[in-house]
Amino acid sequence: MRRGLPYVVAGAPPLLEAAGVASRCEVRGGDAFTAVPAGYETYLLSRVIHDWDDERSIALLTRSKQAMQPRGKVLLVERLILMGATPTLLVLESDVQMLVVATSRLGLTNLASHTCPTHRSQSASD
């Protein structure tokens, strides 16, 4: 099952059809912070937890635990960044992506004007 907010999962059916797996999938829109479909044995959260602060992350994990079968499991797939290691290009790209996502959640439309002092001073003089 693929789950996300209704506008997020709206594009999933054509992709699943094209991949030839639509008959094995169920797509549901919803808010995982309020409820998760009940009764499954395994819940996979892939690249989700890193998006949220501790309070919201705990809410996602709690909803999954409440919904699962008694001996169910939650599987987390996240990227680990080791302390002291030199970041790879993939990690740096991920950091930029997270900055853009966080910025859009805050409703900021011009990222450069909020992050770059040079751009801010140029924008002010325009």
- Tokens (6 digits) for 80: 């680990």
Q: Judge whether 114 counts as a catalytic residue.
A: no
Tell me the HSE value of 99 on the side-chain side, using a 13 A CA sphere: 11
Cα–Cα distances (Å) from 37 to 34, 74, 118, in that order, read 10, 13, 48
Per annotation, catalytic residue among 50, 56, 73, 114: 50
- Measured CA to CA, the distance from residue 68 to residue 77 in angstroms comes to 18
Catalytic center residues: 50
